[in-house]
Amino acid sequence: MTENKQMAGLRTDLSLISEWIEPGSHILDLGCGDGTLLAYLQKHHQVTGYGLEIDDKKVAACIEKGVSVIQTDLNDSNKGLCDFCQNGFDYVVMTQTLQAMQRPDLLLMEMLRVGREGIVTFPNFGHLACRSQLFFKGTMPISNALPNPWYDTQNIRLCTLNDFENLCQAFGIKILQREVVDATHRNTFLMNLLPNLFGEIALYRFKKA
């Protein structure tokens, strides 16, 4: 199934996410970018829902794709997801945005307030390349998954797979599925064997314990 989606132009990480989502679901996509995932799910899985995005150009791209989008800042502590009612969505998705949040812990709990399940992806700071640069160079890592220098990046809450799983345990969040891919969104045997060492990007599906 994933191979067919790749042929259709959907990135591997987004293909994995789409396989986790039941057809006909109601979706909220946080930091939805240009709306690629929602547009695919609307066409192939008959989902309904909204995207939240702050960037003007990406909001315009969503509209061009026929994706319902709301322009908002997820870091605005006065708003957050307060406009959405409890259990209003089947899934709340957040791809490559968690690390840019001021309080990712609170946002995860908000995701599970408004949604039955949550799905997140984020760069893994425990990846071998990151560890090597810290150990041998003593500098903040730059990699394919983290391409910007520390002084010019939106990433303010970097974590490892272990960090995220510890957070989930502390907040009563049950992890349902986990996958890891590299920066080109491919998966290998070593990533499956030692995900926190070889996985560059982590994908998690979770719900309240």
Continuous segment of H or E residues that includes residue 208: strand 201-208
pLDDT the model gives residue 1: 47
Instruction: Tell me how far apart the alpha carbons of residues 31 and 93 are, in angstroms, rounded to a whole number.
Output: 9
Q: Two tokens at 10?
A: 């959907």
Closest to 117 measured CA to CA, from 87, 160, 95, 145: 87
Mean pLDDT of the chain: 91
Higher pLDDT, 206 or 186: 206
Instruction: Tell me how far apart the alpha carbons of residues 66 and 37 are, in angstroms, rounded to a whole number.
Output: 12
pLDDT digits (tens, 9 = 90+) for 97-107: 999 999 999 99
- Could you tell me if 21 and 45 are in contact, meaning their C-beta atoms sit under 8 angstroms apart? yes
- Say whether pLDDT at 18 is over 60: yes
DSSP one-letter code for 80? T
The domains of the chain, with CATH numbers, are 2-208 (3.40.50.150)
Higher pLDDT, 83 or 43: 43
pLDDT band for position 7 (cuts 50, 70, 90): very low
- Could you tell me if 195 and 202 are in contact, meaning their C-beta atoms sit under 8 angstroms apart? yes
% the chain with pLDDT above 70: 94
pLDDT digits (tens, 9 = 90+) for 27-73: 999 999 999 999 999 999 999 999 999 999 999 999 999 999 999 99
pLDDT the model gives residue 10: 75
Which region among 5-19, 50-64, 85-99 has the lowest average model confidence (pLDDT)? Answer: 5-19
Q: What is the value of pTM for the model shown?
A: 0.91
pLDDT the model gives residue 47: 97
Mean pLDDT of 137-148: 91
Q: Two tokens at 145?
A: 């998954």
pLDDT digits (tens, 9 = 90+) for 145-186: 899 999 999 899 999 999 999 999 999 999 999 999 998 888
Cα dihedral across residues 8, 14, 16, 22: positive or negative: negative
